[in-house]
Amino acid sequence: MKKPIRVVFFDLGNTLLYDKDSWEKLYQEADDVLWKSLHTFGVQASPAEIYGDHETLFHYYYNLRQNELDEPGIAVVLKQLLKRKNILLPEERLHAALQAMYRVTQANWYEEEDATLTLETLKERGFKLGIISNGADDENTQTLIDKAHLRPFFEYIISSAAFGKRKPHPGIFRAALNHFHVRAEETVMIGDTYDADIVGAQAVGMNTVWITRRVRERVADSKVRPDAVVKSLSEIPALLSA
């Protein structure tokens, strides 16, 4: 680490929380719930008419943003898709349909067993804590944090859906740094996604810790190396206090 650390930032999914079941199956289940709600609200179109060749709203959205760092938000995209078919749904009904959809996927996220103790220890030792999370819907991100009872630990939480850009875009990291009025070298980013969390944070001068417990994808060759590598959250307090 370059300097004594004052602020510790965490990723959310597969860092503080983990998933169990196949997302492909859950995406379809969630999309079915979405469309049950939309049909209840009088929408006559079919999913194929709205998404084209994409299986679900999730598939459409993730394909849309795969080569860009813009994060328009899934609600904005669904509203635009419906509008193309001259379907104008009141905001409260669109919101209700998306809430129903996300309740399906939210049930697949679980708090890591060492998350609470790790966060308690860091707070007791005087570190300030924040979350920088990529997510297609800010309300969903906030709900996941509340369901896991993590909010009391964090002074600052920012999602890519709320910010409009997702990691590794430098802007989302700088927004977090600006909140705490700290220099990048006085902070550390802890996350599982190499490009988003490690490469992105180091690009603005932050220290980085790569947590590998839930890593599933091969990391592309990179000149960027994390300042530390851990397998579990429980290793973090000792690492930062060294």
160 has pLDDT over 90: yes
Q: Which of 106, 121, 136 is the last residue of a domain?
A: 106
pLDDT band of residue 67 (cuts 50, 70, 90) is: confident
* Domain shared by 85 and 199, yes or no: no
* Domain shared by 139 and 31, yes or no: no
* Domain shared by 56 and 93, yes or no: yes
Q: Domain of residue 89: give its range.
A: 23-106
* Average pLDDT rounded to a whole number, residues 42-51: 96
CB atoms inside a 10 Å sphere around CB 15? 22
CATH of the domain at 140: 3.40.50.1000
* Domain shared by 203 and 117, yes or no: yes
The verdict on residue 2 lying in a domain is no
Q: Kindly give the pairing relationship between strand 187-191 and strand 156-159.
A: unpaired
Amino acid making up residue 199: V
Prediction pTM value: 0.95
* Average pLDDT rounded to a whole number, residues 73-98: 97
* Domain shared by 136 and 228, yes or no: yes
Which is nearest to 9 in space by CA: 219, 200, 212, 224? 200
Torsion of CA 6, 10, 15, 16, to 10 degrees: 90
pLDDT band of residue 184 (cuts 50, 70, 90) is: very high
* Domain shared by 102 and 113, yes or no: no
Considering its fold, how many domains does the chain have in total?
Answer: 2
Cβ–Cβ under 8 Å, residues 209 and 194: no
* Domain shared by 219 and 136, yes or no: yes
* Domain shared by 30 and 102, yes or no: yes
* Domain shared by 97 and 78, yes or no: yes
By the 10 Å C-beta count (0-12 exposed, 13-18 middle, 19+ buried), 7 is classed as buried
